[in-house]
Amino acid sequence: MEDRVDVIVAGAGLAGAVTARRLAEDFGLRCLVVEQRNHIGGLCHDGTDDHGVLIPSYGPHWFRTNSSRVRNFLLRFTAWHDVAFKVLVWADGRYWSFPINLETFEQYLGHPSTTAEMEAAISAWRIPDAHPRNSEAFVLSRVGRPFFRLFYQGYTLKQWGLEASSLLPSACGRIPIRTDRDDRYLTKAFQAMPLDGYTRMFERLLDHPGIKVLLSTSLKDVRNDVGHRHLVYTGPIDSFFNYATGALPWRSLRWERQSFPGDFVMPAMQVNYPDEHDFTRIIEPKHATGQQLPYTTILREYPLPFADGLAPFYAVPTAQAVERHKPYAAMAASTPDVTFLGRFAEYRNLDMDQVIERALGVADRLGQRLLDTREGANRIANRMAGQVAGSSDHDSDAAKPLRRKLDPKEPPAAIEIDLVVARYRETVDWLRNTPSSARITVYDKRGDLDPRRLPWARVERLENVGNEAHAYLHHLVTHYDRLAPVTFFCQGHPFDHAWDLHPTLRNVAAGRDLVDGFRWLGSMIDTDDPRGRRLFVPWSKNIDGRELALDGFHRALFGEDAPDRIVFTLGGQFAITERLARSRPRDFYRRALDLAASFPDAAHCFERLWDRVFGVTGVDLDRLGGAESLCLRPVRHSQR
């Protein structure tokens, strides 16, 4: 366990994970995230069942937002499956279009109708109330009693255990009512589900060298033992204060799962049941995730009164509950060095995008405040001095973390990419211009790169052997089971050879360009022989004119003689898909890693053989037309 951190974050749900990531990445602060559950993701957690169906552990989380800030932040941690969220209602023995719209009205009438007729009917049904004080009065003032009875009355009673007349207008006020044929349940511009699920998104969100996560751990287990400058608390606020003024009203839930053979069993991803059924809704996640499987799974949701042993899910929206929360809000406001954030800590039924927006704002203000304090500045400076004593790295001339440049016009990520950089002494500030969705790992071979310079990247120090080949292979060995769909491998200053690396990264991330297996990154195709006589021997940096033992290296790695002609792209930089990388066993890369550290001039051998390392031919020999070399584009030397 850490002896001291900058911030303890209690809770690994949306509020906690987003706050920790922002503080670690943008402000270089060390965060300890503690989570009582045995998993990350909070109520967003999901996983696959026995049939491979991706299902939520705690009920549906249909993501939607109008915020470009929220969307761009999450694009770095997940690709998305676009979906138009559709909901139906089962009542009076039939399915109804919902939210209320012209089709709903036609179903009620039993014949086609018009917007004008619907508006006239609803106008006659409404019970006017300019300032409704409860949900029943609110709905009656908008659509009248027929639709209130059909869609709201029973559902609200089951959901909250209270009549609609006891609930604040907000309990039913979020559902739109339309007089046209728009049957969208949600109207926000961006509606989608994480392509690989929420849990995978949270894994990436919390994957940062400045964040440590402790599962099955309560705040009480660490608060007094781990030194910290601030606490971000995301759990129930009444629990934090030991129920000083009594427990707040909460509502809980339980679910029943059932699997069926076939594509679907429900007509929509969610069907509400406001009638006599004990459950309030049935969801069928495959409608939203787009999975193609021979089985499907549904979840029936049953509301429950909150009790010991159950998890809270909703703050009860009544005027009495608001009053009972006020003393806790006052205690929170007067508690120094603690921020209360999220649905449970604020006792508000916030949407996911609202939680993320609030977390980003809190983290920005808190991070800057912690950096600005004298105590924080001195401690960070001392820590840096201990890490980089005696160094003269270009990048460590400033202790302030380098902020990543975010392009507001950057398109949504279509595929997850990793960028692996083997750095010796190069300035790597250029990494801030890479796509925001790219995960970056810098292997520091010289050992003088201050990790706080790049808080949004993973910086790992490696022994200075084997040049970039050693770093690449180390990554393949250590990340073999968690490689990205596409990984780019490059040197600390890649542009002398791959001058177009930036647009290539952007186009691949956005799905405008496809890496199919293996791709060299560079503009100069060249040729060498098994002794390196054509290229290596006359190389200007080969002062003693020694030969390159490519033939012996080839036999050691592949168990066969090297070909007479070795065609490759200069620079030792390439992109590769996870599928192709994993076509070789991990032990092959371990053996290659040993060679990188021990074989003479191994890096130069690997530079010529990277495509063969992955079992492919990376250069179309017909492009050479019999020539020994080919320059595809002019080499540029000043890219940043």
Picking from 35, 134, 25, 72, the residue whose alpha carbon sits closest to that of residue 451 is 25
Q: Provide the percentage of residues in the chain whose pLDDT is more than 70.
A: 94
* Whether 461 and 593 share a structural domain: yes
Phi-psi category of residue 92: left, alpha or beta, with phi > 0 → left and psi -120 to 50 → alpha: left
User: What was the pLDDT predicted at 379?
Assistant: 53
The rounded distance, in Å, linking the Cα atoms of 37 and 199 is 13
| 81-107 pLDDT per residue, tens | 989 889 999 999 999 999 999 999 999
Q: Tell me what the mean pLDDT of segment 131-156 comes to.
A: 96
User: What was the pLDDT predicted at 347?
Assistant: 97
Provide the token pair at 191.
Answer: 């509606």
**What 3-state DSSP class applies to 573?**
coil
**Residue range of the domain that includes 167:** 87-173
Picking from 637, 114, 631, 22, the residue whose alpha carbon sits closest to that of residue 363 is 22
* Whether 97 and 235 share a structural domain: no
What is the count of structural domains for the chain?
A: 3
Q: Which residues on neighbouring strands pair with residue 1, listed in sequence order?
A: none
The rounded distance, in Å, linking the Cα atoms of 567 and 247 is 72
* Whether 363 and 222 share a structural domain: yes
Question: Is there a domain that residue 118 lies in?
Answer: yes
Is the per-residue pLDDT at 559 higher than 90? Answer: yes
The rounded distance, in Å, linking the Cα atoms of 37 and 215 is 6
Scan for tokens 């060498």, then name that residue. 528
Picking from 20, 82, 26, the residue whose alpha carbon sits closest to that of residue 436 is 26
For β-strands 230-233 and 338-340, DSSP reports them as parallel
* Whether 473 and 352 share a structural domain: no
Asked if residues 425 and 394 have their Cβ atoms less than 8 Å apart, the reply is: yes
For β-strands 63-65 and 190-194, DSSP reports them as antiparallel
357: which residues sit within 8 A by CB, 6+ positions away? 67, 69, 70
Provide the token pair at 234.
Answer: 């995301």
* Whether 482 and 627 share a structural domain: yes
Provide the token pair at 559.
Answer: 């168990």
User: What was the pLDDT predicted at 477?
Assistant: 93
Asked if residues 146 and 46 have their Cβ atoms less than 8 Å apart, the reply is: no
For β-strands 417-423 and 486-491, DSSP reports them as parallel
Q: Which residues in 388-411 are b (16+ Cβ under 10 Å) and which e?
A: beeeebebbeebebbebeeeeebe
* Whether 443 and 507 share a structural domain: yes
Instruction: Select from 127, 149, 173 the last residue of a domain.
Output: 173
User: What was the pLDDT predicted at 378?
Assistant: 57
What's the whole-number average pLDDT of the chain? 90
CA-based angle 574:577:579, to the nearest 5?
Answer: 145
User: From start to end of 244-294, where are the E strands?
Assistant: 250-261, 270-272, 281-283
Q: Which residues on neighbouring strands pair with residue 33, listed in sequence order?
A: 9, 213
Asked if residues 500 and 569 have their Cβ atoms less than 8 Å apart, the reply is: no
The CATH number of the domain where 620 resides is what? Answer: 3.90.550
For β-strands 63-65 and 230-233, DSSP reports them as unpaired
DSSP structural state of residue 148: I
Question: Is there a domain that residue 66 lies in?
Answer: no
Residue 82 CB: number of other CB atoms within 10 A?
A: 11
Question: Is there a domain that residue 148 lies in?
Answer: yes
Confidence of residue 389 (pLDDT cuts 50, 70, 90): very low
| Sheet-wide strand order for 63-65 | 63-65, 190-194, 80-82
Q: Kindly report the pTM of this predicted structure.
A: 0.68
Provide the token pair at 365.
Answer: 């203000």
| 10-63 pLDDT per residue, tens | 999 999 999 999 999 888 899 999 999 999 999 999 999 999 999 999 999 999
Confidence of residue 187 (pLDDT cuts 50, 70, 90): confident
**What 3-state DSSP class applies to 82?**
strand
Q: Tell me what the mean pLDDT of segment 588-606 comes to.
A: 92
* Whether 440 and 501 share a structural domain: yes
For β-strands 63-65 and 87-91, DSSP reports them as unpaired
Q: Tell me what the mean pLDDT of segment 277-287 comes to.
A: 96
User: What was the pLDDT predicted at 57?
Assistant: 96
Question: Is there a domain that residue 60 lies in?
Answer: no
Question: Is there a domain that residue 126 lies in?
Answer: yes
- What does each C-alpha distance from 87 to 3, 98, 101 come to in angstroms? 50, 6, 12
* Whether 578 and 511 share a structural domain: yes
* Whether 473 and 599 share a structural domain: yes
Asked if residues 607 and 474 have their Cβ atoms less than 8 Å apart, the reply is: no
The CATH number of the domain where 29 resides is what? Answer: 3.40.50.720
* Whether 160 and 221 share a structural domain: no
Is the per-residue pLDDT at 391 higher than 60? Answer: no
Expressed in percent and rounded to 5, the helix, strand and coil fractions of the chain are 35, 20, 45
Scan for tokens 């996911």, then name that residue. 352
* Whether 609 and 465 share a structural domain: yes
User: What was the pLDDT predicted at 400?
Assistant: 65
Confidence of residue 550 (pLDDT cuts 50, 70, 90): very high
Asked if residues 317 and 298 have their Cβ atoms less than 8 Å apart, the reply is: no
Is the per-residue pLDDT at 376 higher than 70? Answer: no
| 392-445 pLDDT per residue, tens | 444 334 446 788 777 777 887 788 899 999 999 898 999 999 998 899 999 999
Q: Which residues on neighbouring strands pair with residue 487, listed in sequence order?
A: 418, 576
431: which residues sit within 8 A by CB, 6+ positions away? 419, 421, 440, 442, 454, 457
Is the per-residue pLDDT at 134 higher than 70? Answer: yes
234 against 371, higher pLDDT: 234
User: What was the pLDDT predicted at 397?
Assistant: 44
Residue 625 CB: number of other CB atoms within 10 A?
A: 7
* Whether 493 and 553 share a structural domain: yes
DSSP structural state of residue 494: G
Question: Is there a domain that residue 481 lies in?
Answer: yes
CA 267 distance to own-chain centroid: 30
Confidence of residue 381 (pLDDT cuts 50, 70, 90): low
The rounded distance, in Å, linking the Cα atoms of 209 and 71 is 23
Is the per-residue pLDDT at 457 higher than 80? Answer: yes
Scan for tokens 């300032």, then name that residue. 131
| 209-248 pLDDT per residue, tens | 899 999 999 999 999 999 999 999 999 999 999 999 999 9
Is the per-residue pLDDT at 451 higher than 80? Answer: yes
Question: Is there a domain that residue 254 lies in?
Answer: no
Instruction: Select from 131, 158, 173 the last residue of a domain.
Output: 173
Q: Tell me what the mean pLDDT of segment 454-476 comes to.
A: 90
Instruction: Select from 173, 194, 217 the last residue of a domain.
Output: 173
Is the per-residue pLDDT at 446 higher than 70? Answer: yes
User: What was the pLDDT predicted at 5?
Assistant: 94
The rounded distance, in Å, linking the Cα atoms of 595 and 477 is 13
Picking from 178, 92, 97, 190, the residue whose alpha carbon sits closest to that of residue 143 is 178
User: What was the pLDDT predicted at 634?
Assistant: 47
